[in-house]
Structures are given as structure tokens and as C-alpha cells.
Amino acid sequence: MESEEPLGGAELLVVLPEHQVTLDTARAPSQNDLWALLTNHYGLISLAIEAKAGESFDATVNDWLDKDESRKGREARLEWLCQELNRPAALEVCGLLRYQLFHRTVSALKEAKRYRASAAVMLVQSFSEDPAAWADFERYAAFLGAVAKKGALSLVPGGGGLLIYLGWVQSACVTDARMTAIDGPQPVEAFSMAEG
């Protein structure tokens, strides 16, 4: 993946699977498939990873708002998420976007603030070719003022003192057949998620 200069040379400090981040309230935290804290000469980096293998990014904002009786609470959450992202919460603008992308990005941002990091990254790790999910990601990136690029990070403008990036990585799954073909103990690099 191409690296933006402020993220160059990053080293992994901590990685947590299924890491939950409390949002505006303790109700319905954002559960990251993987969250990591990295460091480089610019400072700390909060990285939230959303792994996908052909499934969608769940409900659109409009559908999510209509899912239960507590619409007012959900409207307040959407307002808060959009405020964190410095974007309008107007449904005509964000109603057709995927709610999961909002809270996953804000979870990276919230952890960046918690650890006084200089950057927050929300990365989608896609394990299958998925044009529908990619189109959803492109629309969301455009809403944030970024240009989605596969295999590269895109800077979100107007981060309010924090650098915010979106990224999409396309990878192959290690299948049972591929595992069987590997003969004997192998170093970790043999199971890299990145296509080589």
C-alpha cells in the first residue's frame, strides 16, 4: 500500500482484535475487527480495520434510523458522528451512505484523541472482489471530501488538528487448499494478507 509521508515508517505497538470503542454514549459501541496503535517519527497513529469478505457495510443511515423506536437517540448519534467528522448530518446528503463506515471512522478518531495520536486511519481490508461495497466506500469518501483509491490512503480534509485517512486494501484469503499446499513450518511472512 502506498504510504502518505506522515504515516511512513510506522511501527506496530499494540494490536487488539474485536476492539470496542464507546461513541457518544455507552450504548452500541463501535466494534473494530482489528484496532492497532502504531508509531513513527511524527507520533502515534490510531488504525481501525474493517474486514470484509463479500458482505455489505450493513444498513444505510436511513435504514439504520428506522430500525427501532428510539429514532431520537439514533438521530442524536448521527448528529454527533457527523460533528466529529466535521460534516453535515443532513439526511439528503448522508442518508444513503452506510452507517458502519461513519462509526468505524469515528472509532479510529476517538482512539486517536484518547492516545493523543497525530493521525487516525480507517482501513477496509477486503478479502473478495466486491464492486457494491467499493461503490459504497467511494460515496462515503466523497462525502468526507476524500478520493477513494484502492491500495492507497486518502487524506480527509478538515480533520481539525488531526490527520484522518481512509484506505482500502484488496487481499486474498488464505484458504484451506492454500494452507494444505504449504509444506512444513513457515515464517509468518508466508501467511501475509497482502498480495505479493
Does residue 24 or residue 6 have the better pLDDT?
A: 24
Taking only the tens place, the pLDDT of each residue in 154-187 is: 999 976 678 999 999 988 765 545 544 444 444 4
Taking only the tens place, the pLDDT of each residue in 106-131 is: 999 999 999 999 999 999 999 988 89
Please name which of 31, 28, 27, 24 lies closest in space to residue 79, comparing C-alpha atoms.
Answer: 24
- The rounded percent of the chain whose pLDDT value lies above 70 is 83
Cell of 13: 505497538
Kindly tell me the sign of the dihedral angle through the C-alpha atoms of 56, 155, 19, 41: positive
Amino acid of residue 41: H
- The rounded percent of the chain whose pLDDT value lies above 90 is 55
Ranges of beta strands (E only) in the chain are 11-21, 30-40, 43-52, 119-126, 153-156, 163-170
CB proximity list for 56: less than 8 A, separation 6 or greater: 98, 132, 133, 136
Per-residue pLDDT, 173: 63
Cell of 148: 477513494
Per-residue pLDDT, 4: 55
Does residue 18 or residue 189 have the better pLDDT?
A: 18
Kindly tell me the sign of the dihedral angle through the C-alpha atoms of 13, 187, 19, 1: positive
Per-residue pLDDT, 193: 32
Cell of 142: 466523497
Mean pLDDT on 55-70: 86
Does residue 75 or residue 4 have the better pLDDT?
A: 75
